[in-house]
Amino acid sequence: MNVGLCVVCMMLIPLAAAGLALIHQGLGRSRSAAHSMLGTICALGIAAIVFVMVGWSLTGFPGGASHVLFAGTLRWNWLGAEPLLARGVNFGGAGAGGGLEMCLQMLAVGLAAMIPVSAGGDRWRLAGIAAASAVLAGLMYPLFAHWAWGGGWLAPRLTGGFSDAGGAGAVQVVGGFMALSVAWILGPRRGKYAADGLASAIPGHNIVQVLFGCLVALVGWIGLDAAVSMVYYGAGERMLAGIVVNAVLCASAGCLAAVALTRVRYRKPDASLSANGWIAGLVAGSAGAGFVTPVAAVIVGAVAGVLVTYMVEVFELRLMIDDPGGAVSVHAGAGMWGLLAVGIFGGGGSMLFQVVGVATLVGLMLPLIHVGNLLLNRLVPYRVDRDGDWQGMDVRELGAGAYPEFVVHADEFVPR
């Protein structure tokens, strides 16, 4: 493995975070824009620190120390056992081990932690974001990351089965389920649903930033797919070209499918749903990365774009889940589709183990994440108070708006 190239790919990953941050705040209200951006940065920072100090010891790496259960002849590797506070990591010299994996995981967990900020937009308090990010990075994420990548029971080197070559499961679906749990606990923004149950549209405040964020995220996603493929799946330098081609094809197909579908359904293309289609394509394509054919990448991306367009509508109108950025549909929905698509198109995983991986995410990770959030919500109330709902998060929590000279909110002057 070319370590230098691998580190360069990892250095691109923060661009995925930057792109998602732009998308999150652009799809939210202008009166919560600065809060959304700061929340994202706090989530990234806290996740990085907590993961390195605590989460890494549970995640581990292939060949590293781990907790193993023996049941007869069965060897059940269920949790990493590295020392706390990253004491066992050797970044250089003879016998170096774990440093590369830790660097990759630290950046990846930041991505997972920032996904729920989108679903909790306009109503999730900064303290809640910080607490949830810490628990995600210290406990939830390491569990599945160890199973899929750290030499755990799902890892392909042990079973030859489950394949997640770009983090569609460990990063995107885990983050998406966190977003779903947060959206459930917070409830919708006030005024989202009328008395008869009809949803009112609360459009994003800056769609140009959202679309620019899509382009920025593409570069970061290529870095993420490449780094995971090289570190955990043995992808060589020549594979990088395939990873770039497939990432671009997946994103393009997802976006174009959403453009076409919204054009047919609403007579005009919907820019925010098309942006969601772009990211959904990237998310779904992450599972196979460079291990599927370009034709398969186009199909995976297109299906993700269509799927997300319908899922956003079902979540908002049928299930009454107010997710301003469509994070649950884009990250959890498209991520699970991507994992299953690897089984269908033969990207290195067997269909049976891809289903087992998805079943583990839904059957164990979702309840675990949700119970964790319910307990945290008791300690650190997630939702802003009633005044904050009307004022916006910028004024309520930060004391100043993101665009103080350009925007006047009529709602602020409504008598309470």
Partner 1 sequence: VIRVRVIGCVLLVSGWGIVMAAVVMLRGWQASVFIGAGCAVEALGLGLLTAGYRAIQLSVGRGQR
Nearer to partner 1, 141 or 390 (CB): 390
Q: Decide if 401 contacts 392 (C-beta within 8 A).
A: yes
What are the CA-CA distances from residue 344 to residues 352, 354, 357 (Å)? 10, 9, 14
- Least Å distance between CB 374 and partner 1? 10
As a whole number of Å, the CA-based R_g of the chain is 21
What are the CA-CA distances from residue 378 to residues 99, 204, 375 (Å)? 36, 30, 5
Residue 170 DSSP label: I
Report helix, strand or coil for 92.
Answer: coil
User: Footprint of partner 1 on residues 177-196 (CB under 8 A)?
Assistant: 184, 187-195
Nearer to partner 1, 343 or 401 (CB): 343
- Least Å distance between CB 126 and partner 1? 20
Angle, helices 239-266/271-288, rounded to nearest 10 degrees: 150
- Least Å distance between CB 181 and partner 1? 10
| Options 319, 344, 398, 407; binder of partner 1; rule CB under 8 A | 319
Going by C-beta distance under 8 Å and a sequence separation of 6 or more, which residues neighbour residue 327? 24, 115, 116, 118, 119, 175, 176, 179
* Tokens representing residue 402 in the block: 């993101």
* Interface region with partner 1, contact rule CB under 8 A, candidates 54-62, 128-136, 226-234, 318-326: 318-326
User: Footprint of partner 1 on residues 371-410 (CB under 8 A)?
Assistant: 371
Nearer to partner 1, 13 or 376 (CB): 376
Q: What are the φ/ψ torsions at residue 7 (nearest 5 degrees)?
A: -70, -40
- Least Å distance between CB 364 and partner 1? 5
Nearer to partner 1, 3 or 371 (CB): 371
- Least Å distance between CB 190 and partner 1? 5
- Least Å distance between CB 140 and partner 1? 15
Query: Which residues make beta-bridge pairs with 71?
Result: 74
Nearer to partner 1, 73 or 264 (CB): 73
- Least Å distance between CB 350 and partner 1? 11
Alpha-carbon gap, residue 174 to 220, rounded angstroms: 19
Nearer to partner 1, 199 or 245 (CB): 199
Alpha-carbon gap, residue 249 to 251, rounded angstroms: 6
Q: x/- binding map, residues 65-104, to partner 1, per CB under 8 A? A: ------x--x------------------------------
User: Footprint of partner 1 on residues 349-378 (CB under 8 A)?
Assistant: 352, 355-356, 359-360, 362-364, 366-367, 370-371
Give yes or no for residue 339 binding partner 1 (CB under 8 A). no
Give yes or no for residue 321 binding partner 1 (CB under 8 A). yes
Alpha-carbon gap, residue 223 to 230, rounded angstroms: 11
Nearer to partner 1, 184 or 403 (CB): 184
Nearer to partner 1, 10 or 307 (CB): 307
Q: Which of 363, 362, 342, 361 is nearest to 162 (CA)?
A: 342
Q: What are the φ/ψ torsions at residue 45 (nearest 5 degrees)?
A: -65, -45
- Least Å distance between CB 366 and partner 1? 6
Q: Which of 242, 259, 222, 246 is nearest to 298 (CA)?
A: 246
Unique residue bearing structure tokens 């103080």? 404
Q: Which parts of this chain interact with partner 1 (CB under 8 A)?
A: 71, 74, 184, 187-195, 197, 199, 319-322, 352, 355-356, 359-360, 362-364, 366-367, 370-371
